[in-house]
């Protein structure tokens, strides 16, 4: 009886080891979470923040993201960089993003520079939504309802703004993509070593780092689901 029980435990253990990669590669990368953050007792502005699409042609998935954003019905939508890894996918990404029904504001990421993405094409789509695309690697400020919000791709830039903001939004880190419970991210990219995922208080304001929608290098996520962050300010 004891041997049977031990065998069951072994089978369960090794089965779980086999299932973990399947979960990390096939399930979690598409399992989008909508995270709600309230930063004021009487909020007057609702923002949806997302980042790092790394769009590779999965139109059904991106359209699902856009529908979720429209269902949330924010006042504005903010995007913090890395649309695609190949210019061939830019038109498809922008076609889906053009369906966002609220003003869309954003900044470029490192991949836009690496792949010489045409910023004018991005700007045209953002303007049509009533928003604006800030074509600077250092990010920039948008002012909505007497609030100053700084958009930047790299989270660690939040320490060098030298001004006060109601909110700072960043991406780039992907939250590490692979996170171990009680340990955190296994690997983080440059310029995202200090602030990797979630909310942080900095000398220049509250920073929210979105863990991104897509993946880079390894098409997997573990304990780091793709996220739409809803912030009430």
Under 8 Å between Cβ of 119 and 147: no
Under 8 Å between Cβ of 173 and 192: yes
> What's the pLDDT at 9?
43
CA distances from 20 to 25, 175, 222, 223 (A): 9, 19, 9, 11
Closest C-alpha to 150, from 130, 171, 129: 171
Q: In angstroms, rounded to a whole number, what is the distance separating the alpha carbons of residues 134 and 8?
A: 58
> What's the pLDDT at 29?
98
C-beta neighbour count of 140 within 10 angstroms:
16
> What's the pLDDT at 15?
42
Across the chain, what does the average pLDDT equal? 93
Closest C-alpha to 230, from 80, 41, 34, 66: 34
CA distances from 82 to 56, 119, 144, 150 (A): 12, 12, 24, 17
> What's the pLDDT at 19?
75
pTM over 0.75: yes
Low-confidence ranges of the chain (pLDDT < 70): 1-18
């Amino acid at each position: 009886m004891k041997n049977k029980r031990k065998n069951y435990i072994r089978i369960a253990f090794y089965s779980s080891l086999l299932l973990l990669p399947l979960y990390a590669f096939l399930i979690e990368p598409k399992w989008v979470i909508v995270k709600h953050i309230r930063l004021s007792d009487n909020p007057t502005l609702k923002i949806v923040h997302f980042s790092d699409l790394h769009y590779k042609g999965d139109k059904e998935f991106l359209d699902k993201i856009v529908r979720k954003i429209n269902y949330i019905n924010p006042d504005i939508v903010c995007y913090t960089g890395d649309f695609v890894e190949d210019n061939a996918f830019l038109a498809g990404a922008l076609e889906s993003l053009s369906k966002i029904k609220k003003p869309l504001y954003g900044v470029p990421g490192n991949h836009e520079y690496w792949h010489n993405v045409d910023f004018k094409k991005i700007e045209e789509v953002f303007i049509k939504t009533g928003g604006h695309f800030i074509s600077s690697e250092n990010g920039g400020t948008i002012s909505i309802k007497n609030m100053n919000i700084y958009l930047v791709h790299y989270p660690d830039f939040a320490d060098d703004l030298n001004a006060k903001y109601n909110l700072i939004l960043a991406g780039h880190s992907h939250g590490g993509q692979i996170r171990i419970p009680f340990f955190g991210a296994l690997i983080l990219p440059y310029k995202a070593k200090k602030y990797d995922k979630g909310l942080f208080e900095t000398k220049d304001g509250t920073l929210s780092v979105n863990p991104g929608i897509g993946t880079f290098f390894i098409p997997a996520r573990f304990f780091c689901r793709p996220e739409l962050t809803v912030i009430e300010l």
